[in-house]
């Protein structure tokens, strides 16, 4: 307790001392500082490098991520002029880590006088078939048509996809009676890398004696691209092939602050994203057939369905049901190992969206997710007969989701994926199924 004989010359200090004495308050040592903002008597560090706020902490810094250390580059692999019915193979040049392949396609007509009209799958179907094989001859992208590649570009959540190719600033398809009627140009991507933020799915492409191979087939007759062809069909089509790739990063990056090691390869190098295709004729004539998928065994990130009628044309959304219209089931039922995972409404109530817009829950969800609100078949609109199964990657109400894999569907050789209990219209003929399958080197890489 404070001595009662002590005298203070400052009156305010004397008052404080009197209160302390009445409370029997004692002086005690305050603990040394244990961090910024903590009370203490220890002085601030004289050298900032020993402070928790130091620019150069004493612990070693982690490696600079691959996608910061490497450079995303492009190069042209080939320029070709193809005649109808031609087949060609293109070996890609070696360049560190392959991200994707870009196809720039153009066809030019002249002296046209006809009122040109394009067929429904045109101009994409000028590519009758295309595939990408690895150096060992295994298909990474199984043979798909040009129109199927268009749907992959539009509806996959992968790198350079989830973009309507009809919205590309250089896309054109000239219809009508102008002198260049029937001309067109478009850009499509062969999807390889799955996720750009860490380059998951980029392929090792550094061995000069092991080349990736593109095989391309051109449609047999250009006149079949149109319902009304030009007066004079073009004699050839120009295709330019570019690859987009990651460079090999330097071992270290040095600045005035010192050197930092870099991550030398993409995350999960060895992860491969495949595209597989199958066609089912069980829907022919309608009814409620049980359809079992053939392509299982890996993680499935995307499934895209295309329904075609007896004439080979894509089913038209607009109800009422007929030989060409609204042959998708009213309710689309998707099953996994005998568990009903989805029961999705395809069409709205009578009179709602029946003539002009999107009626059912599924089409509305697809339109919202991809921001496709224009008329069917228009740029920025949905496509007749095409239904992507978006629940596998729709974690947010928007497609810019940076590749979360939380809802991807793991499968093995015994997994049973089925459509059953769904009733197809009598105009249905076959159902095309495109599946994006991921084979990661580890779950940690996929779910990073």
pLDDT of residue 33: 35
The kind and range of the H/E element at 130 are strand 127-133
Return the ∠ at Cα 148 (arms to 282 and 319), rounded to 5°: 60
What would the two tokens of residue 403 be?
A: 């590749």
| Model confidence, pTM | 0.83
* pLDDT means over runs of 10, the chain (448 residues): 51 57 49 35 35 36 90 97 98 96 98 97 98 96 98 93 95 97 98 94 94 98 98 97 97 91 96 98 96 97 95 87 88 95 78 49 84 92 93 60 75 97 94 97 92
pLDDT of residue 42: 38
Distance (Å, whole) CA 338 – CA 334: 10
Is 222 in a helix, a strand, or coil? helix
Q: Which of 111, 132, 249 is nearest to 178 (CA)?
A: 111
What would the two tokens of residue 19 be?
A: 């209160």
pLDDT of residue 347: 78
58 CB neighbour count, 10 Å cutoff:
7
pLDDT of residue 54: 35
- For each of the domains in the chain, give its residue range(s) and CATH number, in order of start: 64-250+260-268 (2.70.9.30), 271-448 (2.60.120.730)
Are the C-beta atoms of 296 and 303 separated by less than 8 Å?
no
294 CB neighbour count, 10 Å cutoff:
12
Distance (Å, whole) CA 365 – CA 288: 25
Are the C-beta atoms of 298 and 407 separated by less than 8 Å?
no
What would the two tokens of residue 317 be?
A: 């959304």
């Amino acid at each position: 307790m404070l001595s009662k004989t002590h005298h203070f010359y400052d009156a305010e200090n004397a008052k404080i001392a009197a209160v302390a004495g009445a409370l029997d308050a004692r002086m005690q040592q305050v603990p040394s500082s244990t961090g910024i903002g903590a009370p203490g008597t220890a002085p601030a560090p004289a050298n900032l490098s020993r402070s928790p706020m130091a620019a150069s902490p004493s612990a070693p810094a982690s490696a600079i991520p691959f996608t910061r250390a490497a450079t995303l580059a492009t190069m042209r692999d080939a320029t070709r002029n193809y005649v109808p019915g031609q087949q060609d193979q293109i070996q890609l040049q070696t360049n560190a880590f392959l991200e994707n392949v870009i196809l720039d396609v153009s066809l030019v007509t002249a002296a046209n006088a006809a009122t040109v009209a394009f067929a429904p799958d045109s101009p994409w179907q000028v590519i009758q078939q295309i595939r990408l094989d690895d150096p060992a001859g295994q298909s990474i992208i199984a043979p798909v048509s040009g129109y199927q590649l268009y749907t992959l570009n539009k509806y996959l959540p992968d790198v350079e996809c989830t973009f309507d190719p009809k919205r590309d600033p250089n896309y054109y398809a000239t219809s009508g009676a102008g002198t260049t009627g029937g001309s067109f140009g478009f850009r499509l991507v062969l999807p390889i890398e799955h996720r750009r933020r860490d380059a998951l799915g980029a392929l090792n492409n550094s061995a000069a004696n092991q080349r990736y191979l593109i095989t391309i087939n051109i449609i047999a007759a250009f006149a079949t691209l149109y319902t009304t062809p030009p007066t004079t069909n073009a004699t050839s089509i120009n295709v330019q092939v570019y690859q987009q790739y990651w460079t090999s990063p330097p071992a270290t990056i040095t600045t005035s602050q010192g050197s930092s090691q870099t991550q030398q390869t993409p995350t999960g190098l060895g992860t491969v994203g495949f595209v597989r295709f199958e066609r089912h004729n069980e829907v022919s004539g309608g009814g409620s057939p049980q359809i079992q998928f053939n392509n299982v065994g890996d993680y499935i990130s995307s499934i895209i369905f295309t329904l075609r009628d007896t004439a080979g044309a894509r089913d038209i959304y607009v109800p009422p049901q007929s030989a060409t219209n609204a042959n998708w089931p009213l309710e689309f039922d998707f099953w996994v190992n005998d568990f009903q995972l989805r029961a999705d409404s395809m069409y709205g109530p009578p009179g709602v969206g029946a003539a002009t817009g999107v009626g059912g829950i599924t089409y509305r969800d697809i339109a919202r997710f991809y921001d496709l609100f224009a008329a069917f078949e228009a740029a920025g609109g949905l496509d007749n007969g095409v239904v992507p199964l978006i629940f596998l990657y729709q974690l947010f109400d928007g497609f810019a989701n940076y590749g979360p894999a939380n809802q991807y569907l793991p499968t093995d050789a015994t997994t049973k994926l089925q459509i059953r209990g769904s009733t197809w219209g009598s105009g249905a003929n076959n159902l095309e199924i495109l599946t994006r399958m991921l084979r990661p080197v580890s779950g940690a890489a996929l779910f990073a």
